[in-house]
Amino acid sequence: MCYNWGMKRWALYARTSTSRQEKGLEAQVRALRTFADQKGITEFDVFSDEGVSGAKASRPGLDQAMDAIRQGKYEGIVVYSFSRFARSTKHLLEALDEFQNLNVGFISLSESIDTKSAIGKALFTLTGQSIPATLLPSKDSCSFTIDITIDPSYCGPTRLELSYDFAS
């Protein structure tokens, strides 16, 4: 997805678990602002939670951002990393599903994920599938890596095909 970065308002979200991580919060906000500057995003609001566990789905800064997103005030939300946004897979996937339903982008800087890009949509679809745990190999028995490089100026269709042989 090619955004018209400067035309819409964006939410930037940062969080630290303890108030002693003040410099960590500053570093996250600095990285988010740098991203906005690089993309030409001039209209944004910074939401943050300092000293609040990510295990809590309800946090003052995040709640404000989510309310504004639900009201259609933002094109998307940018976070420093998944772990700053949500500490549980369930919370993350529920939020990503809500963003998808609202046609709101979710960008994680650390993981280089943008849910409105073709690759981001594919990865979201893969991670959001409900597969019974008994069908999944244990993390000790296998691993895989996806390494994809796409020219940032390319805005055309992208196709990603992945398969796994469960019979092996």
Q: Pick the catalytic residue: 17, 110, 143, 168?
A: 17
- Which tokens belong to 8? 């819409």
Helices (H), the chain: 22-39, 60-70, 82-85, 89-102, 118-128
Tell me which amino acid residue 27 is. Answer: A
In degrees and rounded to multiples of 5, residue 89 shows phi and psi of -60, -40
CA dist 135 → 31, 128, 167 (Å): 39, 15, 11
**Is 17 a catalytic site residue?**
yes
Ordered DSSP codes for 125-159: HHHH----GGGSPPTTT----------TT--S---
* Residues designated catalytic: 17
